[in-house]
């Protein structure tokens, strides 16, 4: 029985799995810092699975950044992937490199009902694009469109780097306070793990509080325990996310729904679900009515990127990839 390997590689973690029968098997997570190259980490994974070099049908690796040419260099780690070297090391003919949010978008096609939480009620129009947006190390954005015969087209972009939208004097003051330290303030500047900390310092500065929390995790923990400043930070984070997601829906005509992914929001999901996200999402003046009936989900699936890499590989081998 043919088997392929899929991977989802970030700056800190590399996730690998076998792809067989339209499903993931034997998922393992490796620390990037522990290995000199992706080929070495994959070799250790294959040895653990009892799979010899040359036995894989194909390999698909989802990587953070634009993919083109023979070589890919990771922004946040020492790893790099040379297509020819990687194929030779693994003794595989088919190597597909894809953007990580391309994979994340395709992963939405395999979600199970228990792997998403309803944020805004509605019915997805599958003839229109869906928006996938995810605060993590940075802010990822992609779109997903259903094609004929059950195929899917994912389109990654750089929507995380649009200007941060503001809607009142308070939000303008927050953006200006952040800009004094960062210069240009993109959505990614705030809607990310590091952005949570920038937002905390800006709010402390504006409101006259001495900052006492040093990490995004500490801010989240304080908010979950009811600390007022941290709660204000999380609330503002959710409102900014709503504004950016709403802009994305208008740009795409995204009545196919919105999937909120990434590692940040699920850590404070209870606060998110009762935040001003939904209000800010649809706060678009004369176009506010456009958002009626557009569903929004918070995705809790652990390995959506790996699933998407499997879908991408399956479509590529069938000659139908949109990568």
**Hey, what domains does the chain have and what are their CATH numbers?**
4-100+303-317 (3.30.420.40), 112-300 (3.40.367.20)
Sign of CA dihedral 245, 247, 250, 253: negative
What span, in angstroms and rounded, lies between the C-alpha atoms of 147 and 220?
Answer: 39
Give the per-residue pLDDT at 321: 41
pTM above 0.85, yes or no: yes
Give the per-residue pLDDT at 1: 56
- Residues at the annotated binding site? 7-12
> Which residue pairs from 181-190 have beta carbons closer than 8 angstroms and sit at least 24 positions apart in sequence?
186/160, 186/161, 186/162, 187/139, 187/159, 187/160, 187/161, 187/162, 187/163, 187/240, 187/244, 188/138, 188/139, 188/160, 188/161, 189/164, 190/164, 190/237, 190/240
Mean pLDDT of the chain: 93
Give the per-residue pLDDT at 320: 45
Asked if 322 contacts 315 with a C-beta cutoff of 8 angstroms, the reply is yes
Give the per-residue pLDDT at 301: 92
Give the per-residue pLDDT at 65: 77
- Residues at the annotated binding site for ATP? 7-12
Give the per-residue pLDDT at 67: 84
Give the per-residue pLDDT at 322: 43
What span, in angstroms and rounded, lies between the C-alpha atoms of 267 and 298?
Answer: 11
pLDDT per position as a tens digit, 133-169: 999 888 999 999 999 877 889 998 889 999 999 999 9
Parts of the chain with a pLDDT under 50: 320-323
């Amino acid at each position: 029985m043919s088997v392929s390997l899929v991977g989802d590689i970030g700056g800190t973690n590399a996730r690998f799995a076998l792809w067989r029968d339209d499903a993931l098997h034997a998922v393992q997570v490796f620390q990037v810092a522990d290995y000199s190259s992706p080929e070495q980490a994959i070799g250790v994974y294959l040895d653990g699975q009892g799979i010899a070099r040359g036995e894989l049908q194909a390999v698909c690796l989802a990587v953070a950044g634009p993919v083109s040419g023979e070589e890919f260099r990771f922004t946040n780690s020492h790893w790099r992937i040379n297509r020819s070297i990687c194929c030779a090391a693994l003794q595989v003919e088919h190597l597909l490199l894809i953007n990580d949010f391309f994979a994340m978008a395709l992963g939405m096609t395999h979600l199970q009902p228990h792997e998403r939480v309803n944020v805004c009620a509605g019915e997805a129009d599958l003839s229109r694009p869906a928006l996938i947006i995810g605060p993590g190390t940075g802010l990822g954005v992609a779109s997903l469109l259903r094609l004929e015969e059950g195929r899917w087209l994912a389109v990654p972009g750089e929507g995380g780097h649009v200007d941060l939208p503001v809607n009142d004097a308070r939000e303008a003051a927050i953006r200006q306070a952040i800009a004094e330290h960062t210069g240009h303030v993109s959505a990614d500047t705030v809607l990310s793990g590091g952005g949570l900390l920038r937002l905390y310092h800006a709010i402390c500065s504006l409101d006259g509080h001495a900052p006492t929390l040093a990490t995004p995790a500490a801010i989240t923990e304080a908010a979950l325990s009811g600390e007022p400043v941290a709660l204000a930070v999380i609330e503002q984070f959710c409102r900014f996310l709503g504004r950016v997601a709403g802009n994305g829906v208008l740009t795409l005509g995204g009545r196919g729904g919105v999937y909120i992914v990434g590692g940040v929001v699920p850590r404070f999901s209870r606060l998110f679900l009762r935040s001003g996200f939904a209000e800010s999402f649809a706060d678009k003046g004369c176009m506010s009515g456009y958002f009626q009936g557009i569903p929004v989900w918070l995705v809790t699936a652990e390995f959506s990127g790996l699933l998407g890499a499997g879908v991408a590989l399956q479509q590529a081998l069938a000659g139908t990839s949109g990568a």
